[in-house]
Amino acid sequence: MTEHPIKGGTPTTPLKAIRKGTGALQRGRRRPRLLIYLGILGPGLIAASAGNDAGGIYTYSSMGSQFGYSMLWVMVVLTLGMAIVQEMCTRMGAVTGKGLSDLIRENFPIRITALVMLAFLLANAGVIVSEFIGIAAAFNIFHIPSWISAPVAGLLLWWLVVKGSYGRVEKLFLALTVVFFAYFFAAFLAKPDWGPVLVGSVVPTIQFNSGYILMLVTAVGTTISPYMQIYVQSAVVERGVSMRDYWQQRIDVYSAAIFSNLVAGFIILACAATLFAHSGGHGVVLNDAADAALALAPFLGRFASNVFAVGLLGASFLAAGVLPLSTCYSITEVLGVENGVNKRWNEAPVFWGLFTGLIVIGVVIAMLPNLPVVQVLLNLYLLNGIVLPVILFSILRLVNDKRLMGQYTNGPIFNVLAYGLTFIVSLLAIASVVIQVLGFFGIQILG
């Protein structure tokens, strides 16, 4: 006796319908792999690309204009470093379901928590302002004054984030990463000498002078900025990632590290092949990221210069969204109050109030005339490089805690690489502080 497909027991499905459904499933499985891989991209790509902001573009442009191809190897090493750090944070988010600041608050004494959060806030505070300075500088290339561009950009960014869900905000940020292809275009137009490019990428060369060491620390601070770790872990938690589908996040952070630092490398290439090459090897000092775009015009043409400026605009807009969100996540996690882009104003008033306040402050300061932009950018990312060891040691302490991570703690080789990176960054940070302090008293220990 054949059981009724609806009444009595488990519902059944006609064989024809089963075959039809199976065929549809097989057709779904034949979806282009490119679309599958693009669907994997998310928090890792956003956080890594946000590092190529106004300060990052200025730093990488200065590396190329002042030191030619000789600092390309730094980006190769930092690619590995960024991948290691971001992977640890995404893994912690997937295993614990908590943000980095949340874990620090719960597992560290109050004084250490306060120290870590103070270091993070110091590193973040001015960088948010620098993003709106970058937006205003990019628009200024197109003859739009900052009193128009900064508030319009701030209002647009606020509206897009506040009125959107996490999924929509993530799609917006991912779309903005497309602008970074402008730098690949600019670099190839510059026609670099690929022999020295290869040598500079694989042969470490270190100049023992204060300018080189400080530039090295600044490169570390802008490439592995503390806000990236806060953002990527909180975003993974808000995305609801678990260890079951964690392999996708690992692909995301590793591919993001490669892509974002390729962008940085091509910015160095564009400026090294033009500004440094035509300086007779003496190097060219830039005033800001917009200055790099304008300086390229005589060598690459006005179109390429404008492309460089468009990249600056998109990069600054991306970071101007990620940085305040990262700061809001960290503060609200430490306070133990509701947070998240998916939350409404009445559900997370502190989160959204702080986000709004940070954007307003950034917009107002960016509108001020005669800002010492170059000093602001360099000092901010130098500060990032100095406080980064504090964040890294905190991450290593948490990710190796078996009570938190269980079987997902770091392996021996991973720990060797992670601790090695942290100690090197710490030594560079100490060296930069010593150079700065002695320089204040007019003492120069390096050439």
CA atoms within 13 A on the CB side of 357: 9
pLDDT at 7: 38
- The number of beta carbons lying within 10 Å of the beta carbon of residue 94 is 22
The DSSP call for residue 241 is: -
CA distance 159 to 258: 31
Nearest to 221 by CA among 317, 290, 324, 123: 123
The DSSP call for residue 384 is: H
pLDDT at 298: 67
Structural domains in the chain plus CATH codes = 53-440 (1.20.1740.10)
CA distance 429 to 435: 10
For residues 384 and 222, the answer to whether their CB atoms sit within 8 Å is yes
CA distance 292 to 308: 8
CA distance 173 to 322: 8
Low-confidence stretches of the chain (pLDDT beneath 50)? 1-39
Q: What is the DSSP string of 167-204?
A: HHHHHHHHHHGGGGHHHHHHHHHT---HHHHHHHHHS-
At residue 207, the 3 state secondary structure works out as: coil
- Token pair recorded at residue 166: 């996490």
- The number of beta carbons lying within 10 Å of the beta carbon of residue 401 is 15
The b/e string for 138-174 (b: 16+ C-beta within 10 A; e otherwise) is: bbebeeeebeebbbebbeebbeebeeeebeebbebbb
> Residues of the chain with pLDDT > 90: what percent?
24
Nearest to 150 by CA among 374, 408, 316, 363: 363
**Tokens 């973040």 found at:** 124
pLDDT at 420: 94
**Tokens 């893994």 found at:** 91
- Token pair recorded at residue 340: 């998240």
Q: Indicate whether this model's pTM tops 0.95.
A: no
At residue 447, the 3 state secondary structure works out as: coil
Amino acid at 304: A
The b/e string for 283-302 (b: 16+ C-beta within 10 A; e otherwise) is: bbebbbbbbbbbbbbebbee
